[in-house]
Structure 1
Amino acid sequence: MRTLVVICNLLICCIAFSQNKSNTFKLFYLGGQSNMDGFGYNKDLPDSLNTNFDDVYIFHGNPAIGGELDGGLGIWEQLKPGHGEGFSSDNEKNNLSERFGLELSFAKKMKALFPNDKIAIIKYSRGGTSIDSMAYRKPGCWEPDFNADQGINQYDHFLATLRNAFKDHDIDNDGMEDVLVPEGIVWMQGEADTDTKEIAERYLFNLKRLMDLIRASLLTDDLPIVIGKISDSWDNGDKVYPYEELVQYAQEEFVKMDKNSDIVRNSRYYKFSDRWHYDSQGFIDLGSSFAEKLYGLIIKNSNK
């Protein structure tokens, strides 16, 4: 009888331990406009990226234009190709597309750099979106105080994405609670803020304010940020982004001012699939480059 009591007590302890046990995921947010959406073609992927990623999960908020009510809806699932342009989601199913963005090579590189860690990615981006409300076009803008479109802007869709992502406490469905620890922000945007000199000259202020708000939304001061430097395709020999140089200058100034940020400049060498978007190889290189830069910031902070 005494042995039975001991065994029962041990079982109770084991059950209690398993119920309290949790998994920790390194969490990264990916945001911006269409070159964050991703215009690479899945058919161009190498075998190493055309796969389901072990221990990597993604919550991809449904991309919506300003004013729509379904922005940020989604579910967690194992990362695989199809989270590029044409992706959509609701609270029940992800509808994968034939395209990919930088998330695949980003995840592959991060897993190589953190082989013993689980990775979680929250992605919300929308093509054609500016930060500045004066550059507003139909897809909307990220200006938090912009009150057109029923008062729903892209920053609101971002917040909805976070709310929906953090509702799920078991993102890999293994029966244990998951803890998401924010580790960094990846931002690929700026092309839509090049329309006029006045708008482009405000980009530094707008970028800093938005990044501070995203950091605050993730409840982490000085969370590492890596931004992608925009580039122009010079389609048919003509500039696509009139005041591109001013936004590029603002991006460089941002990383000079913010000591916990860095910038990826590789895009100047990428080929384009159309007037606005990199080709498949460009997105593959972009994701790896973002991961390397972000890893450098994470390691630098851990050594302080």
Structure 2
Amino acid sequence: MRLGTVVLLSLLTVSAFAKKKGDEFKLFYLGGQSNMVGYGYNKDLPDSLLKNMDDVWIYHGNPVSDGNESGGLGLWEPLKPGHGRNFKSDGEKNSLSNRFGMELSFAYRLKQLYPDAKIAIIKYARGGSSIDSLAGGGFGCWEPDYKGKGGINQWDYFLKTVNGALSQLDINGDGKPDVLIPCGIAWMQGESDADKSVEIAQRYEANLKRLMDMIRASFRTDDLPVVIGKITDSWNHKRGIVWPYGDLVRQAQEDYVRKDDKAEIVRETKYYHYSDPWHYQSKDYIDFGKRVADKMYQLME
């Protein structure tokens, strides 16, 4: 009797909640490795990106190496600086850092292009991660079939992030169920597949296509727009070329977008400068976000 009453009350509560009209959000996923994580410094941000953006929310999955149960934990919060390197989440509280990635200028530009829209961002990216299982090392691997350490890898964290984000019916906390419309994927990755061997680099196009198709399937949209950033090389004066097989991966990226009508590539990364052998400067993350948003807009429209 008591159990039946609880179930009935729960159903009535869900029914009453469902009748309330919530908000509609354009939903985007941001993924990849460290130049998607973001190594820009908050202190370098212009005033327009330092303040909270109206109607922009982010669910940032906790980024960790393979085999860690905390990977992918997160919660919805208004977008603000601090979602770059050293960001952490335990699923109950986000610990923002003094770094940022392309998410700020990406959202800011989208709000210019869609001034009346509400924006939702799901982010999961892990520095040093590869797609190919033979290139994973200690940073992590996105290959869905790769068991890795403890049977948990970056693909599992991606799924955990997405499932956690989409399981919350009311992302902005106004007491009404929201509707999230998948609109696009932004992917910045490939460096860790470009420094191990010719064979790994030559597999990158096939690996990238499979992964993007599976991410699209996760959002149940076969033709979901994909915008990728073309990898570059710092040619560090002490190390020389950093990604020995970068040309093969760059060609693979070009081949992928050439064959996919709903994919685009940001090539302006070749003009970016580096703060260390691997990562862009603050101003470049700002430029990258704007350019990804513009490419996304072209594909969406």
TM-score by length of 1: 0.92
Structure-2 separation of matches of 1:118 and 1:170: 13
Identity in percent? 60
> Which residue number in structure 2 is paired with residue 112 of structure 1?
112
State the one-letter code of the partner of 1:118: K
After TM superposition, give the deviation of residue 175 of structure 1 in Å. Answer: 1.2
Select the residue among 252, 255, 272 that pairs with 2:254: 252
After TM superposition, give the deviation of residue 20 of structure 1 in Å. Answer: 2.6
Is 1:281 the counterpart of 2:279 in the alignment? no
State the one-letter code of the partner of 2:224: L
Structure-1 separation of matches of 2:269 and 2:134: 26
> Which residue number in structure 1 is paired with residue 57 of structure 2?
57
Structure-2 separation of matches of 1:95 and 1:140: 22
> Which residue number in structure 2 is paired with residue 10 of structure 1?
none
After TM superposition, give the deviation of residue 139 of structure 1 in Å. Answer: 1.4
> Which residue number in structure 1 is paired with residue 222 of structure 2?
221
RMSD: 1.3
> Which residue number in structure 2 is paired with residue 13 of structure 1?
none
Deviations, residues 142-192 of structure 1 (Å, cap 9, x unaligned)? 000001211101000000001111111111101111111000000000000
Structure-1 separation of matches of 2:297 and 2:112: 11
> Which residue number in structure 2 is paired with residue 147 of structure 1?
147
1:260-275 → structure 2 map (5 Å cutoff): 260-275=262-277
Name the stretch that deviates more: 167-176 or 121-130: 167-176
Structure-2 separation of matches of 1:23 and 1:52: 19
Structure-1 separation of matches of 2:61 and 2:17: 33
After TM superposition, give the deviation of residue 44 of structure 1 in Å. Answer: 0.2
Cα contact 2:133–2:141 (8 A) shared by 1: yes
1:289-304 → structure 2 map (5 Å cutoff): 289-299=291-301
1:1-304 → structure 2 map (5 Å cutoff): 19-195=19-195, 196-236=197-237, 238-299=240-301
Structure-2 separation of matches of 1:46 and 1:246: 36
Structure-2 separation of matches of 1:136 and 1:117: 38
Structure-1 separation of matches of 2:154 and 2:145: 10
Structure-2 separation of matches of 1:127 and 1:254: 22
User: For 2:48, what is the secondary structure of its paired residue?
Assistant: coil
Gaps in structure 2 of 5+ consecutive residues: 1-15
Structure-2 separation of matches of 1:274 and 1:257: 33
Q: How many residues align?
A: 285
Cα contact 2:53–2:80 (8 A) shared by 1: yes
After TM superposition, give the deviation of residue 243 of structure 1 in Å. Answer: 0.4
User: For 1:48, what is the secondary structure of its paired residue?
Assistant: helix
State the one-letter code of the partner of 1:290: V
Deviations, residues 2-31 of structure 1 (Å, cap 9, x unaligned)? xxxxxxxxxxxxxx7994312110000000
TM-score by length of 2: 0.93
After TM superposition, give the deviation of residue 68 of structure 1 in Å. Answer: 0.4
State the one-letter code of the partner of 2:265: I
Gaps in structure 1 of 5+ consecutive residues: 1-15, 300-304
After TM superposition, give the deviation of residue 298 of structure 1 in Å. Answer: 0.2
Structure-1 separation of matches of 2:17 and 2:79: 29
Structure-2 separation of matches of 1:286 and 1:17: 39
Larger radius of gyration: 1
Structure-1 separation of matches of 2:121 and 2:136: 28
Deviations, residues 103-159 of structure 1 (Å, cap 9, x unaligned)? 000000000001111000000000000000011211110000001211101000000
Structure-2 separation of matches of 1:236 and 1:289: 28
State the one-letter code of the partner of 2:215: I
